[in-house]
Amino acid sequence: MSGSNMPDIPLLRRYGLDALIEEERDHDYDILPIAIDFNNLTANIVTYISGYVIKMLKRRFKCPDCVEGCIGHEFDEDYRFLFKKNKGGLYIPTKGVTTICLSVEGCIRRFMDATEGRIPRESNFFETFTIAISQKFYGQGKVLFPHLEEHFIDYSTITNNHTASLIKAIVGA
């Protein structure tokens, strides 16, 4: 699958990730491709990890405006763990970054259940996973980064789409 932008559908089905390839749902309230009921501790930990994802984006993603647009500037009261652990060096993620990371966590839980805790052996699994979840978010047309919409319009071309690239980079981080 190397170089392809199409997910390996049988591979996703094998690992219980059918929701990534389902047609659009009738309801509009669920942005997560696979709905998982996270407890508050899990949501706090994933938010903390989302800050680390931003740190990785700063190193790897080429567009500084996109990276800066992933950094929040206010603590969400629901994520006290991030506030408690921050001594000035943590990045505060935006809701868009946290939403993507929570979705990735849900998908990982789903495929770990399907494999009884084993990591998939197929060499193209993680590439397929990254492409599929990125396409699902992008295909839903949900606005994950409202403050970057104008930037996405100004700097996205057919061959270089900042929205899709940013989502894929967050999923793959």
The pLDDT, as a whole number, for residue 5 is 59
Instruction: State pTM to two decimals.
Output: 0.76
| Contact between residue 170 and residue 55 where contact means Cβ atoms under 8 Å apart | no
**Nearest one of 55, 45, 151 to 101, comparing CA atoms:** 45
SS3 116: coil
SS3 71: strand
The pLDDT, as a whole number, for residue 2 is 46
CA-based torsion, 137, 138, 139, 140: positive or negative:
positive
Distance between CA atoms of residues 7 and 164, nearest Å: 15
Over the stretch 120-160, which tens digit does the pLDDT of each residue have? 888 888 888 887 777 777 777 778 888 888 888 887 776 67
Low-confidence stretches of the chain (pLDDT < 50) are 1-2, 23-35
